[in-house]
Structure 1
Amino acid sequence: MTEKTTNLNRRDAISLIPAVAGGTVLSVALGSENARGEEIPAKREGVYPDTVKSASPTYSPAILAQGSKLLFISGQGPKDLSADMETQIRQTFENIQTVLETAGAGWENVVLIRSFFINLERDMPIYRKVREEFLVKPYPASTAVGTTALAVPGLEIEFEATAIL
């Protein structure tokens, strides 16, 4: 058996996916430099297959990311555990925003958000509403998980994020 080779690079192959499978790709180009000061383009592309239903208006089934650096943001929670849930969710997104800004990034760099909830059914509608204030298109890939406990006593929500720079 002989192997057939082609000069098609990975980027070209990925660009064919919507044509073959049907769907939409939304791109955002960002910029970054490597340790030698050379420009390395960071890029986020939302992948939206026609056959995959969206869970909400601020949901992307997948994000194709390219960048010279990755930022992994540890789980963040609210500052005030006694506040109403909308305030707690907003404070948690604000904490992530502070970490992003400290690293020289913004919401346009975020490629993944993972959210943990003690009361998923109650809090998910509030979460969907508040995240619209922060997230930008193409919306990051995301997962919401219901759980019975988080590491900090009294904590009911915790979000972590990954960004490209």
Structure 2
Amino acid sequence: MTKTAVVPDDLRSFYEDWRMSPGLACDGFVFLTGFTGADQHGVLPEDPEAQMRRAFEKVGSVLRAAGLGFDAIVEMTTYHVGLRDHLEVFKRVRAEYVVEPFPAWTAIEVAGFVREGAVIEIRVIARE
């Protein structure tokens, strides 16, 4: 089994500071770390929709670094603070990124994240 870290330049701090790979390629799959809507400096927009878009952009950054697009996603798990409050907005934003055939998706309500004020974390598995 060969594992290769996928570390786009804009997410290098995850690898260096947190000692985790933004993505890890293994046996044809790419496993992505869960991403919130904070930017590389930890700045988190107050607007939930802006957080969702930023989280999807981080996912896209890792996918591109692995030579993939959003069409490579086979499974998505999203974690939400206030799931019912933001679900329709999330579904609308998500529809701008995911393509058919749509990946499997599980949405989970959580109490909170490391970063205070975060409302979303997105984790995906993609296939090369």
Which bin holds the TM-score, normalised by the shorter protein? 0.7 to 0.9
| Cα distance in structure 1, aligned partners of 2:52 and 2:45 | 12
Question: What TM-score, normalized to structure 1?
Answer: 0.57
Question: What TM-score, normalized to structure 2?
Answer: 0.72
Q: Percent identity?
A: 29
Q: Per the alignment, in what secondary structure is the counterpart of residue 75 of structure 1?
A: coil
Q: Per the alignment, in what secondary structure is the counterpart of residue 76 of structure 1?
A: coil
| Cα distance in structure 1, aligned partners of 2:93 and 2:120 | 13
Contact kept in structure 1, 2:75 and 2:104, CA below 8 Å: yes
Runs (4+) of structure 1 exceeding 3 A deviation are none
1:159 aligns with 2:118: no
Which of 76, 83, 87 is the matching residue for 2:46? Answer: 83
Structure with max Cα Rg:
1
RMSD of Structure 2 on Structure 1 (CA):
1.7
5 Å matches for 1:67-78? 69-78=28-37
Structure with more relative contact order (C-alpha pairs < 8 Å, separation 6 or more): 2
Higher strand proportion: 1
Contact kept in structure 1, 2:51 and 2:118, CA below 8 Å: no
Structure 2 equivalent of residue 98 of structure 1: 61
Q: Give, in angstroms, the shift of residue 82 of structure 1.
A: 2.8
> Where does structure 1 lack aligned partners over 5 or more consecutive residues?
1-34, 36-67
> Where does structure 2 lack aligned partners over 5 or more consecutive residues?
3-26
| Cα distance in structure 2, aligned partners of 1:113 and 1:90 | 15
For this pair of structures, how many residues does the alignment match? 100
